[in-house]
Structure 1
């Protein structure tokens, strides 16, 4: 559970912005999205390999 202390006299928008940043930085959003639907391990692995291939192509293009 994320807790963001609100200082006295602080604008609610500012504290909401701090909450959103903390929500993103802790990985809670990524975890919620991952739990929405089950992905088979092979699909997850394939996505990682495809990402690695994409990054490698970018690095190769940059070197040439």
Structure 2
């Protein structure tokens, strides 16, 4: 559970912004999306390799 302490006199917008940043950094939403459907380990590995190839290609062409 994420806990955000709001300082006295602090605007709620600023606290919400901190909450959203903390939520994004913990990658909870991504984990929930991944758990919606099962992905075989071989498929996960294949996607990782494809992603690595793409990143490598971007570095070499730049």
User: What is the correspondence of 1:1-64 to structure 2 with a 5 Å cutoff?
Assistant: 1-62=1-62
TM (norm. structure 1) is 0.81
Distance in 2 (alpha carbons) for counterparts of 1:40 and 1:51: 17
RMSD: 1.3
Distance in 2 (alpha carbons) for counterparts of 1:4 and 1:32: 21
Note the alpha carbon deviations across 1:32-52, whole angstroms, 9 max, x for none: 222222111111111001111
Segments of 4+ moved more than 3 angstroms: none
Which ranges in structure 1 are unaligned for 5 or more consecutive residues? none
